[in-house]
Structure 1
Amino acid sequence: MGALARANGFDPVCLEEAVSRVVEEEGFSGTVRVTRCSDPVFTGAYGMASRRWSVPNTCEMSFRVASVAKMFTAVAVLQLVERKQIRLSDALVGFVEGRMPQLDPRVTVYHALTMTAGIADWFEESGPDWEAEWAALASTHPLYLLRSNKDYLPLFAGKQSHFPPGERHLYNGASYILLGLLLEAVTGRSYEQVIAEEVFAPAGMTTAGFPALDNLGPGVADGYLATADSPTPYRTNHYATTPCAASDGGATCTARDLTSFAHALRHGHLLDKETTRLALTPQVIEREEEVRGYRWMYGFGLTHLLNGEGNIVRWGHTGEEDGVSARFYHYPQHDVDVAVLGNISWCAGTMGWAIHDAIVRG
């Protein structure tokens, strides 16, 4: 099902056609929400939230968002910077020494936020065979034991760094695990409490939270993996991914929550004017090569796509884990927000690009 409203700057009919095409051709399962100037332009929900109980997805359904939640962690850290409780140039080890005393003292808060710390990750996502390496990790470290930020430390604390701090960007969840521990150390509160009180509440993210996979409750979509060699086409992700959220990802929210977050961030409800400007400024090169004609840069929990003139075409984040596929993008030249939340592995990427093309090519 879908709903359309007229919008200046691009044709919403093209948007609906793009979404419908991906749903039909790719079997997308989840929800899509597009807003312009914070007003809904398109909303749609597709597929099943629970295949066992025949519950369809709705526009108000909550989904895990995987690494999209890095945006929330980054904002909470920048709030501490704004309050002068920490500095971007501070050595990260000063806040996590009790947990990871061997952390290179040259690694700063800035390095962790921009993923330029060079430290080993708890799971190396850039490896050549993602599925095989994830299976190997799960066979040696039971995923059900990963229920808080500190539980991830044994997976990377003793590993050798990839390169000296600041040399370059390399996608890294471990840096955001350490930022979660920093938030806990400085505030004296749990990571979940900090995000709920300092990000979700002021952003008006009324349904966002941190339910575990084994305690989802009503209104939250189950996650599914496609299984080509199984008698049934899908199986749940309950044994395939981490049960609880961490500071590198895994919060649960609706598409409306995500567009509310973006509005709050842009309009100074989460950070003051100067820190907001900093939060939305690209910091480091993410990829040396252009992809789809764009320069890719990383900032503070955000990926930025820049055109040939150096203008930001969009910023946001992606999220992928077994049974979870999410995209959030803001298009500053169009004042458009796009939230794509899926509950089948790898289903949101094609949808995200289809919507992207409908917006920028009109």
Structure 2
Amino acid sequence: MFRTARRTALMTTVAVLAVPAATATAAPDETTAVDRLGDDPTELSRLVADAAAEAAARQQGGRAMRAPDSQQTLTAGLDAAVSGLVEGGAVGVTARVETPETVWRGADGDRELDHAPPAHPQDRFRVGSITKSMVAALVMQEVERGTWTLETSVEEVLPGVLPDGVTIGQLLSHRSGAPDFVTPAILERVSDPSSVEQFFDALEQDYTDPELVEAARSLPWLFEPGTDFTYSNTGYVVLGMMLEEVTGRSVESLLEDRVFAPASMRHTELPDEPGTKGPFLVGAAYTGAQGEGWYNLDAQDPSLFSSAGAVTSTTEDLEDFTAALVTGDLVDPALVEQMLTPRSVESLEYGLGVYRVPDPCEPGEYLYGHDGATFGTLAITLTSADGERQVAAGITGRNVSADPEALYDINDLLVPMLLATCSS
């Protein structure tokens, strides 16, 4: 596996990352990265669901890796799975499994593309859309306080920001019909859509929340609010704006006081500037051999994802968060039940800032959590309904090339992690 220098100019005849699928100039059988990432933001979520299904099949078929006296075998298998992802092309991996009987932590690879420091289990990373679960907790706290209901409209709080009739509940559940802002916001900063260099430069620029929302509104509204499901970052940026409007505080401050502190998330933050602090797994994007490979995202500006996906955290903190959320430590249990209840079941069983997948250890039960994907990092956190069994992972080195099989298969790690939560 080769890796190039961290600021290589990557010029391609196809705008692999920056051009919307509808306008990209590509060969008839060629799939661009936007086809894979921009048009299908639930791709990682479906992989997680597939991993849960495969783990359940193995568990029920008696082929699970865990046995009462196989702790050493279990640890060795998980360590090998982490190393396997790095051998397959991941830059750095940190992962954690926790059950009432045991805690396993593993890491492999490097903290940064072409840099020597090795990854460690406690390293921080960008968690992407797992941020949405945290912001959803803040929103439900306001519902608990009586500030809002799920039927409160955006128009009541932020007049003119979104079409009339869009509600808080619809934003939380991705049922508002709001287009996603990511591609149009980036294209606003790109003069040459064929330049991958310009695309990555755009990731390093500062964006404001109103700019992000306006970029989304430059596209047609997708459907009548409440009639369908389409995953959209836009809704959570608007929710962040609403929280700031009614509380007079920044989302960063609200998260620190009302989520991070009570959940004991000591290594988690919502940064407002580029760069990383302390031990950190820096994101990296693989753009394909034709484009000379890798691009380091060390200078990515968190403002592009804002309250939809800018949080940085660790696997331990993510597990502490998901356990605190589902067990009612952050939000009233009756409202937690509403968060965990799916509003959509066709493509993804998504509730209010949380989705569920079948629990491979307990037929008929579910694991709850979220995943996150930035352009250079993948993150996952899941917990059992009682908060006792948890998995979390952060992986840097994301395939954004036209070849979907260019790098590792994340489920080579996730399946054994899920199986490791099943006690005999």
- CA gap 1:334/1:73 in 2 versus in 1, 3 angstroms: closer
SS of alignment partner, residue 298 of structure 1: coil
- Separation in structure 1 between the aligned mates of residue 396 and residue 331 of structure 2, nearest angstrom: 31
Q: What does residue range 199-348 of structure 1 map to in structure 2 within 5 Å? A: 199-211=259-271, 214-226=274-286, 228-229=288-289, 234-238=294-298, 245-287=305-347, 296-306=348-358, 311-332=364-385, 335-345=388-398
> Could you tell me which residue of structure 2 aligns to residue 93 of structure 1?
155
> Could you tell me which residue of structure 2 aligns to residue 163 of structure 1?
223
- Give deviations 1:184-227, integer Å, cap 9, x for gaps: 11111111111111111111101101235733122222112235
- Alignment partner of 1:118 out of 169, 177, 183: 177
Q: What does residue range 144-183 of structure 1 map to in structure 2 within 5 Å? A: 144-183=204-243
> Any conservation in 2 of the 1:286–1:298 contact (CA below 8 Å)?
no
> Once superposed, what is the RMSD of the aligned Cα atoms?
3.6
> Could you tell me which residue of structure 1 aligns to residue 410 of structure 2?
349
> Any conservation in 2 of the 1:15–1:359 contact (CA below 8 Å)?
no
Q: CA deviation at 1:41?
A: 2.3
Q: CA deviation at 1:75?
A: 0.6
- CA gap 1:8/1:256 in 2 versus in 1, 3 angstroms: farther
What is the count of residue pairs matched by the alignment? 339
- Separation in structure 2 between the aligned mates of residue 241 and residue 305 of structure 1, nearest angstrom: 32
> Any conservation in 2 of the 1:170–1:286 contact (CA below 8 Å)?
no
> Any conservation in 2 of the 1:224–1:344 contact (CA below 8 Å)?
yes
> Any conservation in 2 of the 1:210–1:245 contact (CA below 8 Å)?
no
SS of alignment partner, residue 153 of structure 1: helix
> Could you tell me which residue of structure 2 aligns to residue 108 of structure 1?
167
**Structure 2 residue 244 is matched with structure 1 residue 184:** yes
Give the residue type in structure 1 aligned to 2:245. A
- Give deviations 1:315-343, integer Å, cap 9, x for gaps: 21111122111111113389311100112
> Any conservation in 2 of the 1:113–1:301 contact (CA below 8 Å)?
yes
- Separation in structure 2 between the aligned mates of residue 269 and residue 196 of structure 1, nearest angstrom: 15
- Separation in structure 2 between the aligned mates of residue 280 and residue 175 of structure 1, nearest angstrom: 18
Give the residue type in structure 1 aligned to 2:156. G
Which has the larger Rg?
2
> Any conservation in 1 of the 2:265–2:321 contact (CA below 8 Å)?
yes
> Any conservation in 1 of the 2:82–2:93 contact (CA below 8 Å)?
no
- Alignment partner of 2:94 out of 13, 23, 31: 31
> Could you tell me which residue of structure 2 aligns to residue 3 of structure 1?
none
- CA gap 1:61/1:40 in 2 versus in 1, 3 angstroms: farther
Give the residue type in structure 2 aligned to 1:177. V
SS of alignment partner, residue 204 of structure 2: helix
> Any conservation in 1 of the 2:204–2:300 contact (CA below 8 Å)?
no
TM (norm. structure 2) is 0.70
- CA gap 1:216/1:230 in 2 versus in 1, 3 angstroms: farther
SS of alignment partner, residue 58 of structure 1: coil
SS of alignment partner, residue 73 of structure 1: helix
- CA gap 1:53/1:307 in 2 versus in 1, 3 angstroms: closer
TM (norm. structure 1) is 0.81
Percent identity between matched residues is: 24
- Give deviations 1:100-139, integer Å, cap 9, x for gaps: x1522211100000000012111369xxxxxxx9979965
Higher strand share: 1
> Any conservation in 1 of the 2:182–2:304 contact (CA below 8 Å)?
no
Give the residue type in structure 2 aligned to 1:87. T
> Any conservation in 2 of the 1:326–1:348 contact (CA below 8 Å)?
no
